[in-house]
Amino acid sequence: MKFPTGDLFVLFFFLIGLSLAGIAWYIYRSHQELVKNGISTKGIVIGMHRIKPREYPVAPSIRYRTLDGIERVFHSSEGRNPPAYQIGEEVTLYYNPSQPDDVVLEGDYLLVYVFGGMGFVFMLISVWGVGSAISAIWKWMVVS
């Protein structure tokens, strides 16, 4: 029996999509957990930094104060072009009281959208053929 290359490709695409959707779900749940159990505070955008040197997009650097009065700076890793924030803008963020550097910005779900969107595309491309692909791969494994 011929090796099911096309079927493996379809299954591989589906598994990549499932993995990306799982990553999006994990990021979303982590964000929600920090919003639910973290401490809400206001911060001020004090600057914009590039994620990679000499490249766009840019992400905000935000100064905030913890409950114990310590001033900290959060450098977001989610950049956008054009920037989503302006210097001097007040934003709401949530931080973990036991790890004050564990911070999320309110409503910042860019990574969830990116991973979820890519996962959706991969699964959409492959979902129609994944059942027959698994069947063909199974038959090939049993016969071989």
Q: What is the DSSP string of 4-27?
A: -HHHHHHHHHHHHHHHHHHHHHHH
How many residues in total does the chain contain?
A: 144
State the average pLDDT over residues 1-6: 86
Predicted model pTM: 0.80
Residue range 59-99, pLDDT digits in tens:
899 999 999 999 999 998 888 888 889 999 999 999 999 99
Peptide bond into 100 cis (omega under 30): no
Q: For residue 78, what pLDDT is reported?
A: 83
Find the domain containing 126 and state its range. 5-143
Q: For residue 15, what pLDDT is reported?
A: 96
Domain count, the chain: 1
Give the tokens for residue 66.
Answer: 């913890």
| Average pLDDT along the chain | 91
